[in-house]
Structure 1
Amino acid sequence: MKGFLSENGISFVERDVAEDPAALRELEELGIMTTPVVRIGEEVVVGFDRARLAALLGISTSQAPSEPPCCCG
């Protein structure tokens, strides 16, 4: 997911739930127990959903480079 965002010129803030207790609490409060997670405004995308991310960010899916799923979080 980080690669997808970077390749498309999208800046982001990475938060590591293993190192950041506040980030972990935030996910727990949302009922999310898995990563990666992206919050875009009020929208929350759980997992690497290329089509949804592209739609929310205004990226053409035909131009979005392919990338295997990321196992980071």
Structure 2
Amino acid sequence: MSNPKVVVYTSDDCTNCDRVITKLSEWEVEFEERNITRNREYFKELQSKKVYGTPATFIDEEKVLGFQERKLKRTLGIQYEDRFLNTDAMNFS
């Protein structure tokens, strides 16, 4: 996915919001943060999307609710290593 539009709805004192912002920054993903605590219009905008909690990340209109690192990576097209997958262990012969 090249240059997706990423919008993250956050609120004050939200640990998972901070985690989403930190990961997106680590992955060098450009995003717009919309804090619903500080801006009532953002709050109404989020409610119009039938979402009532933060963090809520929209990646080209696909939503990722809460902090879901694997789903964020998958939706952004970022490769991730599955620490539970061992290809040698999959050979059962």
Superposition TM-score tier, normalisation by shorter sequence: 0.7 to 0.9
Residue matched to 1:28: 47
Residue matched to 1:51: 70
Q: Give the superposed CA RMSD.
A: 1.4
1:10 counterpart letter in structure 2:
V
Which structure is higher in strand share? Answer: 2
| Larger relative contact order (Cα-Cα within 8 Å, sequence gap ≥ 6) | 1
The runs of 4+ residues in structure 1 deviating greater than 6 Å are: none
1:20-71 per-position Cα deviation (integer Å, ceiling 9, x unaligned) = 11110111112211100111112011111111110111111229xxxxxxxx
Percent identity of equivalent pairs: 32
Q: Which structure 1 residue ranges, 5 or more long, are not aligned?
A: 64-73
Q: TM-score, with normalisation over the residues of structure 1?
A: 0.78
Q: Which structure 2 residue ranges, 5 or more long, are not aligned?
A: 1-19, 83-93
Distance, in Å, in 1 between the alignment partners of 2:80 and 2:54 is: 22
Q: TM-score, with normalisation over the residues of structure 2?
A: 0.62
Larger radius of gyration: 2
Q: Tell me the SS of whatever aligns to 1:15.
A: strand
